[in-house]
Amino acid sequence: MRATISSLPPPLPLRFSRTWRDGGAAGREGTGRSGRLGIWRRRRPWLAATEILVATGCFCALVQGPQWRESAALATVNLAVSLLFVFTGLMLGREPGQRVTAWALMLAGVFRCVDFVDAWSGPWHAYTLVFGGVDRLFGAWALLRYPNSALSRLQRWYLAVFAGWMLAGRALIVVTSTAQWNGYPPSWWPALMPDQQLSDALNYVVHGGEGLCGIGLMALLMNRLIRTRGLDRIVITPIIVAGIAAVIAAIVSATMMMFSLSSTPNGAYLVEGVVDFAIPVAFLIAVLQRLLLIKNVTELTAQVAAGGDIGAVRGALRSVLHDPTLDLLDTSESSLRALGSRSPGRLVSYIRAGQGAPIAVVVADPLLARYRELFDAATTASGLALQNAQLQARVAQEKLEQVRASRARIMEAELAERRRLERDLHDGVQQHLLGITAGLTAAKAKTSDPEAAAAFGQAGMSLKAVLAELRDLAHGIHPAVLSQSGLGAALEEVTERLPLPVSVHGPARRLDASVEAALYFVACEALANVVKHANATSAMVTVRVGESMLEMVIADDGIGGVTADAGQGPATHGLPGHGLAGHGLAGHGLANMADRVGALDGEVVIVSPPGRGTRLVVRVPCG
Amino acid sequence: MRVAIAEDSGLFRSSLALLLRSLGAEVTASVPSGAELLAAIRTSLPDVVILDIRMPPSFTDEGIRAAREIRGLYPDTGILVLSTYAETSYASQLMETVPSGVGYLLKDNVTDADALMESLARVAEGETVVDPVIVRRLLGRKRKPSVLDTLNERELEVLRHMAEGRSNLGIAKELFLSVRTVEAHVTSVFTKLGLTPSDTENNRVRAVLTFLRSAGAPG
């Protein structure tokens, strides 16, 4: 691993020095270092959490006091709901940035039990009447806040109006009424200006206003649900649904009490209490969900473990992090330049291979800053996958290079072998036969025996035929003119044997021997196909040598319609009398051409619209 | 007829010398390379030199290089290249280098003693001889438009025979025509190729050159 990392590109100019760069809400959360609840930074957080739960449980049990005798069921539900709220608050407090929401939840839980302090006799009835809705305020706060760590201006206004209306309105009811009017036994009551009519009217107005606030909360929650995207949406959906259910339950319960639809108010409280369970449960589900999301990373790892390319990893990250706007860029200069211009306010994070230089950059929705564990796990998995892919690509590239080099070596060896064969034929068999022929002719000239002369003549003629065949064979194996005069001359020789006019524009200079040989054989192959299948009246061979690339174009005015895989029909014969069929070049058609050109790192392209001729273009790098 | 041979292959060289001697020619030198031939003919100048194309030291086109050098030093000596290669480009190259008193024949011609001796004689006399195989290839070739397109079939045939080194009489025999008719075609060829009819022998050479250049020159 280490060896490969060292060959990665050098570290980038750190234009984005902060790994986490987000202009969103997370930035404002900076106060409590990690934004977690304090107890989770202790040495034994679980013990502390248990202590808090036990203490809260005792307090909530005590504060309800006589309620246990009056309605044990209601007291139990209250205790359970409160404990669940506190427990959920504690759990939520583990997450970064949720400290305040956690407090809101815990306070909502505690105040929920404190509401029932009026079971005791004493001044508590007035307290309950005024402050009995504080738990709902905290609950609304938590609902609106999670998982954002800040409230919008509208949300802040809403909470202020809600709190103000409820506390001020209820205080007014208290001072304009007596304990009895509110259904309490006689006890201490700050009845400053008792007026039953006014008090009744205020009762309707204040509670009606609270009902409207409840509807307002539902509207705000719906609005949040609609506006939230990505992971946030997955996480908050159960909370918002539970919140809306709780608001409805509270409104129903309040209405029931107001119109005395329920035989005892405790029944209404019980219903409300059971529905209230939904809120902490939903928060717990959210917390669990966030933990479960991390499990998705294993899915991601599985998806890209085989070493997906950057596109596959990008797709996997988008799906796992539920952010369709997420982008994954390589660390090339151009990517980074593009990154600088298009990522204001986006979350930017580098993916590194171990301790090495960054190998990719993630640009994502800033809300993912709240899912840092998930995000980090996902990017780490991606980093491994990308590195794996890079290694695989490098291995594949090396293999490709090896194959290419070996193919080039094979072609060169073949070329050398062909030249050797041609030379051997020329210098050996051909010259020997010619010597014998000359000897025979001399013998024929010297003999006076007419039968011997005829026999010598016959042998001479046979030898001449053999010599012509040998000459064609040698030319087919490797045309001497190719080595000696180059591609242009060799192509001229080929085309003058063809039954159609072919204009040849050869290269202005000599080329590499292997390039000349490859182009020559490809041209022979292509021209043989033109003659056999194209039904052309003329053709053209042009070789152009550029600075880094040379191009050979073989064009005809024939029937066209050549497909890259089939060639112009089964080409089984080479050029007539050219020995091409003898060495199997023509039999393999286009594949053979592609092989020869591929060995030179070049390409073959065929453009052949039906009825409009065929154009075969060979491009080979040169330099 | 005094002949000097430069031929790389020992067996063919000795057989060729044997053949030429048996045909009554005097072989003044028989060497394996152009350089040695130049050294040999300095002391005893032959009527014709016979050259191979591919010889030491580079085994590429020594024959053509030697031809140029010999023509520069001894303009009256005929040059006959005997080659294994039927490629028109070698013939064209040779004709470009040495325009007259030159021949390009395939070695296969050693089967025909008379034709060989006749070619040697023509080259020695300053005429141009091209192997029929190569001429046929040039003629059979579908060329780019050239001045030769103005010639009719019969005139082209006459020109082909001229290129092969035949006299008017030879052409007449070959084509079963009267010498007068052949002469008329020859004049017509000269006119169409834009040659003045005054200097007949030089015109023959020029006509053949025109033929070779327009038909044989690569590119």
Among A436, A496, A510, which would you mutate to test the B interface (most chain B Cβ atoms within 10 Å of its Cβ)? A496
B38 to chain A, any CB pair closer than 8 A? The answer is no
B146 to chain A, any CB pair closer than 8 A? The answer is no
pLDDT at residue A572, rounded to an integer: 34
User: Of A191-205, A282-296, B158-172, where does mean pLDDT reach its minimum?
Assistant: A282-296
pLDDT in tens, A405-439: 888 898 889 999 999 999 899 888 999 999 999 99
Confidence grade of residue A23 (pLDDT, cut at 50, 70, 90): very low
Q: Are both A11-17+294-401 and A485-621 of the same fold?
A: no
Q: Do A496 and B137 touch (CB under 8 A)?
A: yes
Res A21 pLDDT > 70: no
Mean pLDDT of chain B: 85
The CA–CA distances, whole Å, from A185 to A122, A178, A538 equal 10, 10, 117
Res A177 pLDDT > 80: yes
Q: Do B86 and A431 touch (CB under 8 A)?
A: no
Q: Which CATH architecture has domain A485-621?
A: 2-Layer Sandwich (3.30)
pLDDT in tens, A121-166: 777 788 888 888 888 889 888 888 887 767 888 989 999 999 999 8
Res A622 pLDDT > 90: no
Burial A569-606 (b: 16+ CB within 10 A, else e): eebeebbeebbbbebebbbebbebbbbbbbbbebebeb
pLDDT at residue B213, rounded to an integer: 65
Helix (H) / strand (E) containing A502: strand A502-505
Residues A462-466 have a mean pLDDT of 92
Domain A11-17+294-401 bears CATH identifier 3.30.450.40: yes
Q: Do B12 and A434 touch (CB under 8 A)?
A: yes
Q: Which chain A residue has its CA at the smallest distance from B14's CA? A: A435
Q: Do B89 and A479 touch (CB under 8 A)?
A: no
B168 to chain A, any CB pair closer than 8 A? The answer is no
pLDDT at residue A224, rounded to an integer: 86
Q: Do A439 and B140 touch (CB under 8 A)?
A: no
Res A349 pLDDT > 80: yes
A chain contacts of residue B21, beta-carbon cutoff 8 Å: 442
Q: Do A497 and B143 touch (CB under 8 A)?
A: no
Share of chain B above pLDDT 70, in %: 90
- Cβ count within 10 A of residue A175: 18
A chain contacts of residue B142, beta-carbon cutoff 8 Å: 498-502
pLDDT at residue B99, rounded to an integer: 81
What domains are there in chain B, each with its CATH number? 2-130 (3.40.50.2300), 136-216 (1.10.10.10)
A chain contacts of residue B12, beta-carbon cutoff 8 Å: 431-432, 434-435, 438
Q: Do A501 and B93 touch (CB under 8 A)?
A: no
Choose between A125 and A571: higher pLDDT.
A125
Residues A272-296 have a mean pLDDT of 78
Residues A59-74 have a mean pLDDT of 83
Choose between A255 and A498: higher pLDDT.
A498
pLDDT at residue B123, rounded to an integer: 92
Res B46 pLDDT > 90: yes
Res A49 pLDDT > 60: yes
pLDDT at residue A588, rounded to an integer: 56
Closest residue to B142, CB basis, from A460, A492, A501: A501
B137 to chain A, any CB pair closer than 8 A? The answer is yes
The CA–CA distances, whole Å, from A464 to A459, A468, A469, B6, B54 equal 9, 6, 9, 22, 20
Short-list A203, A285, A304, CA closest to A238 = A285
B84 to chain A, any CB pair closer than 8 A? The answer is yes
User: Of A50-59, A127-136, A250-259, B60-69, where does mean pLDDT reach its minimum?
Assistant: A250-259
Query: In this structure, what DSSP letter does residue A567 have?
Result: B
Q: Where are the domains of chain A?
A: 11-17+294-401, 32-290, 485-621
Distance CA A444, CA B22 (A): 10
User: Of A74-83, A258-267, A351-360, where does mean pLDDT reach its minimum?
Assistant: A258-267
pLDDT at residue A569, rounded to an integer: 40
Q: Do B137 and A497 touch (CB under 8 A)?
A: yes
Q: What angle do CA B52, B54, B56 make, to 5 degrees?
A: 105
Closest residue to B18, CB basis, from A442, A483, A499: A442
What is the complex's ipTM, to 2 decimals?
0.80
Residues A585-600 have a mean pLDDT of 74
Res A343 pLDDT > 80: no
Q: Do A488 and B84 touch (CB under 8 A)?
A: no
Name every residue whose Cβ is closer than 8 Å to that of residue B168 and which is 6 or more positions away in sequence: B179, B182, B183, B186
> How far A463 CA sits from the closest chain B CA (Å)?
8
Q: Do A493 and B9 touch (CB under 8 A)?
A: no
pLDDT in tens, B106-118: 998 888 898 899 9
B11 to chain A, any CB pair closer than 8 A? The answer is yes
A chain contacts of residue B93, beta-carbon cutoff 8 Å: 485
Distance CA A9, CA A27 (A): 32
| Top-level class of domain A32-290 | mainly alpha
Q: Which chain B residue has its CA at the smallest distance from A447's CA? A: B22
* HSE (side-chain half, CA atoms, 13 Å) at A467: 28
* HSE (side-chain half, CA atoms, 13 Å) at A611: 0
Res B26 pLDDT > 90: yes
Query: Are the C-beta atoms of residues A468 and B47 closer than 8 Å to each other?
Result: no
Reading the block at residue B46, the tokens are 């032959």
pLDDT at residue B14, rounded to an integer: 93
Res A548 pLDDT > 80: yes
Share of chain A above pLDDT 90, in %: 19
Res B58 pLDDT > 60: yes
pLDDT at residue B201, rounded to an integer: 63
Tell me the pTM.
0.55
pLDDT at residue A285, rounded to an integer: 84
Res A586 pLDDT > 70: no
User: Of A10-24, A224-238, B55-69, B149-163, where does mean pLDDT reach its minimum?
Assistant: A10-24
Reading the block at residue A581, the tokens are 């069929």
Q: Do B108 and A484 touch (CB under 8 A)?
A: no
Mean pLDDT of chain A: 80
Three-state DSSP state, B125: coil
pLDDT at residue B217, rounded to an integer: 42
Res A118 pLDDT > 50: yes
pLDDT at residue A25, rounded to an integer: 38
3-state helix, strand, coil in chain A (%, to 5): 65, 10, 25
pLDDT at residue B218, rounded to an integer: 40
Reading the block at residue A171, the tokens are 């205080």
pLDDT at residue A1, rounded to an integer: 34
Strand order in the sheet with A327-330: A327-330, A358-364, A347-352
A chain contacts of residue B87, beta-carbon cutoff 8 Å: 475, 479-481, 489, 493
